[in-house]
Structure 1
Amino acid sequence: MFKPLWVRSLFIAFTALFLAAPLMAEDVNLSERAPSFWKAEGQDNTVWLFGSVHVLTEDHYPLADKVEEAFEQSAYLVVETDVVNVDPQAQQQLMINAGMLRDGQTLEDVLGEARWERARSLAADNGYDLEQMAMLRPWLIALVLSVTELERMGYTAAHGVETYFLERAEREQKSIVELETLQFQISLFSDMDRDTEVAFLMQTLEEIQDLEAQMEMLVAAWESGELDKLEETMLADFADYPEVYERVVTRRNHNWMNDLTRFLDEGQQDYFVAVGALHMVGEEGVINLLREAGYRVERQ
């Protein structure tokens, strides 16, 4: 079944793309949380690899001491894209340019009468008026709805792992390295074929009431370090859409290898890499790709 890909990949349980109740036993020491965290040995340095969640609540901090210490000793912070030092107006314009329907089309035209009525009904049940978004492409509406719901639950990018470290990097004058551009990340959605983006919207609407429970489950697995569960859950979501997984996850992992291996082979100082946890797991995840390339990578 198709899942909201942005929510999944931005999760790291986005990706993604773009999120509580207590997720662990009350007696768990916050400094002992064990998320997805690895150490790769370079020629003359260390590259730390942290599988992140792009949106969290403030209750998920502080992070594990070992994660904080690794960041402290690193000279570089590496992220998918710098979500803090970006012009919000330029970002908004990019989204509008990529996410508006063209040539007078409306969402009803794209969905067809039956799906339009179903989509309107589902949206209304959750307090949304699709008529107000009828000039937007389905993928952008799905993102808007997902972000709005996550923010309602308290999950925001402002509390996401990348934002947390980016703001610290600015204060501590660490160098920031981007693996991708904002334009490229938007293209992951805007280049979807029409059938896929329609399915993305419809499934988002069908499952929006389950989003909080899904989010809590995945964040709990991330936070407690249950990587097998995390991998099984996330990879299963893409089972019926291998071409989407290839484009959104696998291809990007391989693209990043040029930079990651350069950090390991040529770096003189330590790097702290924070990317979505979905990119860490699986046979073609970053961790396995580095090991296959001959690097020593150990979970911390």
Structure 2
Amino acid sequence: MRSLGLFAFVVSTFCAGAAVQAACTGQDLFAAMPEARQNAMREAAHAAPHAQGLLFRATRGDETVTLLGTYHLPDPRHEPLLAEVRPALDTAAAVLVEAGPVEEEALQAEMVRNPMLMFSDGPTLPEVLPEELWQEVMALGSSRGVPSVLLAKMRPAFLATTLAMPPCATAEIAAGKLGLDKQLIAEAEARNVPVQALEPFDTIFRIFDQIPDSETVDLLRSAVIGAEQADATAVTMGELYFAREPRLIWEFSRELSLQGGMSAETIARQLEMSERLLITQRNQNWVPVIEEALAKGPVIAAVGAMHLSGEHGVLHLLEERGFTVERLD
């Protein structure tokens, strides 16, 4: 749930043979929560800078960057937001995304060339995990079309990512349906607007390398808990996103983790690690890339919506560098 750009591409590529399912359906888990709990999460979310909104403009002198918070999974509700950003394409010197077509092609080639990106040459997961957890992992892997012989050798972070992707969304991506970022890339290419990546193609695996082995059991236990409600979680994330409440997705994620039965200490540690590796660290790397691209003219930066808000969000980081930020939607 935290960040699904390259993650969605990697998992959909790996699990392309899984059984095709219908579009994501299920209960809106946030709407089903008690009103008092919803209000508490809203209050916590809205305390962060730029908590609401998906489309922003940041200006500094004659420099202009349009920032779009994207939802990487396919959804028919993308069109209205895409229409809102189209005018910026008329003057854009470049569209900046987490990963463009060149990076996806390079990543796919590297995965074929070097399978050890996905698999470990160390102890197998049945040797590391408690038996009941391994049995749950096998059952979930099988439901996603991944045989146990491959699951056993998967790197834990890659496996957790695989289990986190809703099967309905994986099937739609594998069938060629596009998230908002991919739709924007297609429109930019049709207009001959250059598409530039904000980070190297192998960023996802560099992130995996930073997750210590000591987190393996808790990481996979958390993934199993989340996978049990994967489709409903995808539905809920979509509802919050299209309500233009991206920061509320983070608070919902925290709440859902607490309901899974893991200790508050473990959840806090995992959320801190997720935010640091998937959000904060990458945001800090992206801002200089955005600034460099602005030397050629106005740009559009389309990144996962969770990257925009918060003290370490892209919008606040730009403000710290002298940009003025305004919400456009």
- TM-score bracket for this pair, using the shorter chain length: 0.7 to 0.9
Q: Does 1:246 align with 2:276?
A: yes
Superposed CA RMSD in Å reads 3.2
One of 299, 303, 306 as aligned partner of 1:278: 306
1:66-120: per-residue Cα shift (whole Å, max 9, x none)?
A: 21222333120001121466246514236722121205x3221132435323433
Q: Where does residue 106 of structure 1 map in the other structure?
A: 124
- Change in Cα spacing, 1:234 to 1:281, as seen in structure 2 (3 Å) is farther
- Change in Cα spacing, 1:42 to 1:197, as seen in structure 2 (3 Å) is farther
Distance in 1, matches of 2:114 and 2:78, equals: 29
Aligned residues with identical type, % of pairs: 25
Give the TM-score normalised by structure 2. Answer: 0.72
User: 3-state DSSP class of the match of 1:78?
Assistant: strand
Question: Number of residues paired by the alignment?
Answer: 278
* Alpha-carbon offset, residue 196 of structure 1: 2.5
* Alpha-carbon offset, residue 9 of structure 1: 1.4
Q: Which amino acid aligns with 2:111?
A: Q
Distance in 2, matches of 1:153 and 1:93, equals: 21
Unaligned segments of structure 1, at least 5 residues:
1-6, 24-33
In the alignment, is the contact (CA less than 8 A) between 1:16 and 1:276 conserved in 2? Answer: no
1:150-183: per-residue Cα shift (whole Å, max 9, x none)?
A: 4367466841122112222222211122111111
**Which range moves more in the overlay, 85-94 or 201-210?**
85-94
Mapping for residues 228-267 of structure 1, pairs under 5 Å: 228-234=247-253, 239-241=268-270, 242-264=272-294, 267=295
User: 3-state DSSP class of the match of 1:181?
Assistant: coil
Distance in 1, matches of 2:145 and 2:153, equals: 19
Q: Which amino acid aligns with 1:255?
A: N
Q: Where does residue 65 of structure 1 map in the other structure?
A: 83
**Which range moves more in the overlay, 115-124 or 222-231?**
115-124
In the alignment, is the contact (CA less than 8 A) between 1:20 and 1:154 conserved in 2? Answer: no
Distance in 2, matches of 1:249 and 1:89, equals: 23
Distance in 1, matches of 2:113 and 2:177, equals: 20
In the alignment, is the contact (CA less than 8 A) between 1:50 and 1:274 conserved in 2? Answer: yes
Distance in 2, matches of 1:233 and 1:148, equals: 17
Q: Where does residue 172 of structure 1 map in the other structure?
A: 191
1:15-40: per-residue Cα shift (whole Å, max 9, x none)?
A: 655694599xxxxxxxxxx9511001
Q: Which amino acid aligns with 2:220?
A: L
One of 181, 193, 196 as aligned partner of 2:200: 181
Mapping for residues 43-54 of structure 1, pairs under 5 Å: 43-54=61-72
In the alignment, is the contact (CA less than 8 A) between 2:74 and 2:169 conserved in 1? Answer: no
Q: Does 1:75 align with 2:93?
A: yes
User: 3-state DSSP class of the match of 2:120?
Assistant: coil
1:204-235: per-residue Cα shift (whole Å, max 9, x none)?
A: 22221311221222222211212452353356
User: 3-state DSSP class of the match of 1:49?
Assistant: strand
Q: Where does residue 26 of structure 1 map in the other structure?
A: none
User: 3-state DSSP class of the match of 1:39?
Assistant: strand
Give the TM-score normalised by structure 1. Answer: 0.78
* Alpha-carbon offset, residue 297 of structure 1: 0.7
